[in-house]
Structure formats: structure tokens, C-alpha cells
Amino acid sequence: MKLYDSKPAPNPRRVRIFLAEKGMPLAGGNIEHIEVDIARGEQRNEAALARNPLGQIPVLELDDGTCISESVAICRYFEGMQPEPPLFGADPVAQGLVEMWNRRVEFGLLGPVGVAWRNGPIVARMAPGRFRQNEQAKEDAEEAARRFYRRLDGWLAERAFLAGEDYSIADITTLCTVDFATALVDLAPDPALSHLARWHAEVSARPSAKA
């Protein structure tokens, strides 16, 4: 099988961390890793659009030609192929909590960070004219992200990880979003949010975070 990837982007990183947690290496394993240069638009060439008409990365191409896009969908495929360790929850309650928190982070943090990025100076320099930028939208998205950081800090005051005491896809999504926001959006969490800072230090120290 082939994994079409792009290292700078947060969504492909979710898959790489997930695979590392599963002990399924991209190097020397059964998955062929193909880097896609999204700055040059390689995700929208004819061959890429045949795999994913949305022109987005990541994409997993199976040996029979089936293509799965969307990072969480790809992770669910690998969870089914290798259930241990369970990163979508070990029982129905845990699965519900993991799904809840993963979706909350996608809507409450990843979405606003994406809006702030599209309307920010890095995109203006890297891809001038690609997006019609809106300063008010950028400011609103930044404030939404900061509010969500505060909510995360409160929740993590009582739990080791987002969905409870076990590391999950919800933590992977949050880590990738926070790191992207910090590095490319100038939207790092306030260091005074001590519980969020504790969580971030712990999940960043996991070997999978370097995947």
C-alpha cells in the first residue's frame, strides 16, 4: 500500500503519529511513503485528483487500488488492521469519549486555526492571491482558538489525556493542531495554562511525536 503524505501539514502528521503508536513504521515496513509537495500543488495534479478528487492529503492507496482519504478515516483503517494498542477507545464508553473529544478539537481548534492560517501573513507570502484574506475572520478565529485552549486547560486539570487516562486519536489531533498553530500561525497556547502545558510536554515526549 502507499501513503501520500506531506510533512509540513497537520493532518498527514496525524497519520504518521498514529502509525508510530501502532508500531507500523513507514521506513522498512509494508507501507510505501510518498511525499507530496503541496506548495507546488502536486496534490492537485491529474494523478492525485484521480486518487482524491478533493485534491487533499493524506491519501492511503491500498494494493487493490482503493483510495482512502481523510486522516481519521485512514487511522480507522489501521485501527481495524491492528487493534492494539486501541487508539479509538478500548470499550464503548471510551470510544464515545474519544470520538467526542476528537470532533470537539476538530471543530473547536483545528477549524479556527485553519481559518487564522489562511488569512495570515505566511499564506500571503507563500501563495499570494490563492485566498481572499479577511483580517476580521483571522482575528475571530484566533480568539476562538484561545477560548478553546482555555477549555482544554480546564479539562486536562482532571485527566491525563483528552478522553481520560489513555492516549488516543484525540490527543494526536490536538498535538498536531497545537504544534501547527505554534509554528505556522503564531497562535501558541498561553504558557499560564499549566495543565495544557503539562499535557503538551508529555505527549511531545512520546517517541511517536517525532514521526
pLDDT in tens, 20-56: 999 997 866 789 999 999 878 899 899 999 999 999 9
Q: Classify domain 2-81 by CATH number.
A: 3.40.30.10
Mapped onto helix, strand or coil, the DSSP state of residue 144 is: helix
Q: With a threshold of 0.85, does the pTM exceed it? A: yes
CATH 1.20.1050.10 range(s) for the chain read: 92-210
Class level of CATH domain 92-210: mainly alpha
pLDDT in tens, 68-118: 999 999 999 999 999 999 999 999 999 999 999 999 999 999 999 999 998
- C-alpha 75/C-alpha 69 separation (Å) is 10
Calculate the dihedral angle through the C-alpha atoms of 165, 167, 171, 172, rounding to the nearest 10 degrees. 180
End-to-end CA distance of the chain: 19
Evaluate whether 169 touches 98 at the Cβ level (below 8 Å). yes
Residues β-bridged to residue 5:
35
- C-alpha 15/C-alpha 3 separation (Å) is 9
CATH 3.40.30.10 range(s) for the chain read: 2-81
Residues β-bridged to residue 61:
2, 67
Peptide bond into 58 cis (omega under 30): yes
Please identify which residue in the block is written with the cell numbers 480507522. Answer: 76
Evaluate whether 199 touches 151 at the Cβ level (below 8 Å). no
